[in-house]
Amino acid sequence: MMNDLIGKLFLWAFANPVLDRQDDQGVVEIRGVRVAVSTDSFVVDPLFFPGGDIGELAVNGTVNDVCMCGATPLFLTTGFILEEGMPLETLKKIVESMRAAALKAGVTIIAGDTKVVNKGKGDKVFINTTGIGIVERGLSISSGNLQPGDVLILSGTIGDHGITILSQREGLAFQAPVESDTAPLNELVRCIVDAGGEGVHAMRDPTRGGLAATLNEFAVASRVGIKVHEDRIPVDPAVAGACELLGLDPLYVANEGKALVATDESAAENVLKAIKKHPLGRNAAIIGRVVREDPGLVSMRTRLGTWRIVDMLVGEQLPRIC
């Protein structure tokens, strides 16, 4: 509820057409060049986890937000808030990891800032990254652009990142190892756009709030209904097991290296093939459809054959997941 109030406060105070689109990135024109901009603060706890760390996450998270409109991310800025007494060795590991992640994603860090706060007024390190990319003319990929008949493609398994963080934090050990899926998606997005062209209507990486939140954001922003099939949504068996044990629904668990794509029916096969060819998209699947009925509503055909409504998460989300 608090989050909701805060969101409304910002949208009211800073209202403008770019922000009002409520996409993960703002797209603006600077002297005829279309530029995509996204910002994110990372406060993940713990700092290091199987599959990644806060530094890698801070690069990949913003790279992904920038590229989800079809943009090519070019530049990043970084803002560090350090708690006094934070070991320099830890910081060094994080910075080295950011350096490697930036190289991998092909982005250059062009501005930075560091602030130090007194002990007990922060928590080791918080990192803000802001990303800047360029949008090819003509592309218009936005959560508000879904059309009835569109096909929904998910690039891989869900819940990996959230379950990894949660199990680390709670000291849980599962038989099968679970790893964060943090990865830069800009190369995959390039393949998607090359394969689907203007048939690609919307893309988003389902982070906080999981796949359920992204599906709902799509349905509301485009005023369409969405129908998905539970048995088509890929979930790693270890993650599924952990979710069952913890009483969590993987639909609501965060991802850090997945994309949900809505495409024209005619482009869907091409796009799916392109995704599956990419190492980050091997488990991709068509999970559902966009419909004209029930605008704003997401429903899911369960494994039992019944239909259920997939709400936005009510109540507390797992804090400090990214």
Residues lying near its own copies in the complex (CB under 8 A) are found at 2-3, 5-7, 9-10, 13-14, 16, 18-19, 25-26, 28, 30-33, 35, 37-43, 74-75, 77-82, 88, 91-92, 95-96, 98-99, 102, 108-118, 120-123, 126, 128, 130, 132, 134, 319-320
d(CA 243, CA 100): 32
In whole angstroms, the minimum distance from the beta carbon of 249 to its own copies comes to: 22
In whole angstroms, the minimum distance from the beta carbon of 37 to its own copies comes to: 5
In whole angstroms, the minimum distance from the beta carbon of 111 to its own copies comes to: 4
In whole angstroms, the minimum distance from the beta carbon of 153 to its own copies comes to: 26
d(CA 77, CA 12): 26
Please say which residue, 43 or 275, places its beta carbon nearer to its own copies.
43
In whole angstroms, the minimum distance from the beta carbon of 135 to its own copies comes to: 11
Q: SS in 3 state form for 106-161? A: CCEEEEEEEEEECCCCCCCEEEEEEEEEECCCCCCCCCCCCCCCCEEEECCCCCHH
- 197 by Cβ neighbours in 10 Å (0-12 / 13-18 / 19+) ranks as middle
Sequence-distant (≥ 6) Cβ neighbours of residue 6 within 8 angstroms: none
Please say which residue, 19 or 245, places its beta carbon nearer to its own copies.
19
In whole angstroms, the minimum distance from the beta carbon of 110 to its own copies comes to: 3
d(CA 211, CA 234): 11
Please say which residue, 69 or 267, places its beta carbon nearer to its own copies.
69
Please say which residue, 123 or 187, places its beta carbon nearer to its own copies.
123
Among candidate residues 303, 261, 313, 250, the one with its CA nearest the CA of residue 284 = 261
- Asked whether the beta carbons of 11 and 2 are under 8 A apart, the reply is no
Please say which residue, 171 or 319, places its beta carbon nearer to its own copies.
319
Please say which residue, 91 or 240, places its beta carbon nearer to its own copies.
91
